């Protein structure tokens, strides 16, 4: 139907005092406003929403419109929630229109405990201005957690946790925006930066849904961007050596564990950033007594997977070990005495390099601590 036809039909029903169309819902509990903002026609849905809201306001008043914007569907979601479910098709003007009609829509949780800001961060946006508007309407939402119970335990995530894990969605692309950040940041990077600038305390809160990782840990695993990692490290330098996870590993341990997926140059930049803001981080051992240096000398987990695949006669591409060697070299520069440290099984980093049959790592470690060649481990 054309917009004129929709407006005519709506006006006739409302002027006759027939509110039935406003109270009707589909089989999923969606009202006319839910349907309007969830239209697959991204260009048209904004016009439809404006038309409906203007018509309702002019005939029934803002009170009736407010009650419709509060109305929830079977998922407990308001039209604002629904407008943010398809992150890459949500428009800022659409969100602004809803907020103008009912600002407190930002404070309503759906049935799984999500505020609109949680949904926007989880599904992503193509315009960081949407996040700006949601936070401006409800600044407290930055520290509000989801209330989801998963497998019998609470998974209380703040919007920053969700935004950091939204880097594999279509909205993860470069776009200049109003917060004047470097053009090398993607849209979701810009969202993360806005969240931590708005409330730096968010950088200190672990994510219980992912092994209590701090935002810095998640940035290393999910974004692999030295630009973003540096911003978070600046916000909370103590997070570099905090070991909040089950294995008691720090950001440096996590970087070594994940480094096979990094470009060697990016890995070098990240390790230098972390060591610049907290040189002591290289001296922290995990629950098995492993320094980041021990882990950098180990056979990487992808290499074990490759060997297993070969035994099973399946193809498995080996990744370039240069990133691990770059990180090992930087750790030795920062903490050369680490080459003398044994883990809980009596292994030096040199033992692990020998187990891995990694000649380059062995050479680097022997240059720093040649007496390590005579040290016996627990076996």
86 contacts: CB under 8 Å, gap ≥ 6: 38, 123
**Higher pLDDT, residue 308 or 133:** 133
Model confidence over 158-215: pLDDT tens digits?
A: 999 999 998 655 444 444 444 445 557 889 999 999 999 999 999 999 998 888 999 9
* pLDDT for position 350: 98
* pLDDT for position 315: 46
Distance CA 281, CA 275 (A): 7
Rg of the chain over CA atoms, in angstroms?
Answer: 26
**Least confident interval from 21-30, 111-120, 147-156, 354-363:** 147-156
Kindly report the pTM of this predicted structure.
0.85
Distance CA 58, CA 369 (A): 81
57 contacts: CB under 8 Å, gap ≥ 6: 64, 65, 101
Model confidence over 315-349: pLDDT tens digits?
A: 444 456 788 999 999 999 999 999 999 999 999 99
Distance CA 45, CA 35 (A): 9
Q: What is the number of residues in the chain?
A: 379
Distance CA 323, CA 359 (A): 15
SS3 214: coil
* pLDDT for position 176: 45
* Rounded alpha-carbon distances, angstroms, from residue 303 to 221, 260, 317, 325: 19, 10, 9, 14
* CATH C-level class of 236-264+275-379: mainly alpha
CB 191 within 8 A of CB 118: no
Model confidence over 118-173: pLDDT tens digits?
A: 999 999 998 999 999 999 999 999 999 997 766 666 678 999 999 999 865 544 44
Domain boundaries, the chain: 236-264+275-379
* pLDDT for position 320: 60
* Span between the terminal Cα atoms of the chain, in Å: 79
Model confidence over 98-122: pLDDT tens digits?
A: 999 999 999 999 998 999 999 999 9
Distance CA 180, CA 195 (A): 14
């Amino acid at each position: 139907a054309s917009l004129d036809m929709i407006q005519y039909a709506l006006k006739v029903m409302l002027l006759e005092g027939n509110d039935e169309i406003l109270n009707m819902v589909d089989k999923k509990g969606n009202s006319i406003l839910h349907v309007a903002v969830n239209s697959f026609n991204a260009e048209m849905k904004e016009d439809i929403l404006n038309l409906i809201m203007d018509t309702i306001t002019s005939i029934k008043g803002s009170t009736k419109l407010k009650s419709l914007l509060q109305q929830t569907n079977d998922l407990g979601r308001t039209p604002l929630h629904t407008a943010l479910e398809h992150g890459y098709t949500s428009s800022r003007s659409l969100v602004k229109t809803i907020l103008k009609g009912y600002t407190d829509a930002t404070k309503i949780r759906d049935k799984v405990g999500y505020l609109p800001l949680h949904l926007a961060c989880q599904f992503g946006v193509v315009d960081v201005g949407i996040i700006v508007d949601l936070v401006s309407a409800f600044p407290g939402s930055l520290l509000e957690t989801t209330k989801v119970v998963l497998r019998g335990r609470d998974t209380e995530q703040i919007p920053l946790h969700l935004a950091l894990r939204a880097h594999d969605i279509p909205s993860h692309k470069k776009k200049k925006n109003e917060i004047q950040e470097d053009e090398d940041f993607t849209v979701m990077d810009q969202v993360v930066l806005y969240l931590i600038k708005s409330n730096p305390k968010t950088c200190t809160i672990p994510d219980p849904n992912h092994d209590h990782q701090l935002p810095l840990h998640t940035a290393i695993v999910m974004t692999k961007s030295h630009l973003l990692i540096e911003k978070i490290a600046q916000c909370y330098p103590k997070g570099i050596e905090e070991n909040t996870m089950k294995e008691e590993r720090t950001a440096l341990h996590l970087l070594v564990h994940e480094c096979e997926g990094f470009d060697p140059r990016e890995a070098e930049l990240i390790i230098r950033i972390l060591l610049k803001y907290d040189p002591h981080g290289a001296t922290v051992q995990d629950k098995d007594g492993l320094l980041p240096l021990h882990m950098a000398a180990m056979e990487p987990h992808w290499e074990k997977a490759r060997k297993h695949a070969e035994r099973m006669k399946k193809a498995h591409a080996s990744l370039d070990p240069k990133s691990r060697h770059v990180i090992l070299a930087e750790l030795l520069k920062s903490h050369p005495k680490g080459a003398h440290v044994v883990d809980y099984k009596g292994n030096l980093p040199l033992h692990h390099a020998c187990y891995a049959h990694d000649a380059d790592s062995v050479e680097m470690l022997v240059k720093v601590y040649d007496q390590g060649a005579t040290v016996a481990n627990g076996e």
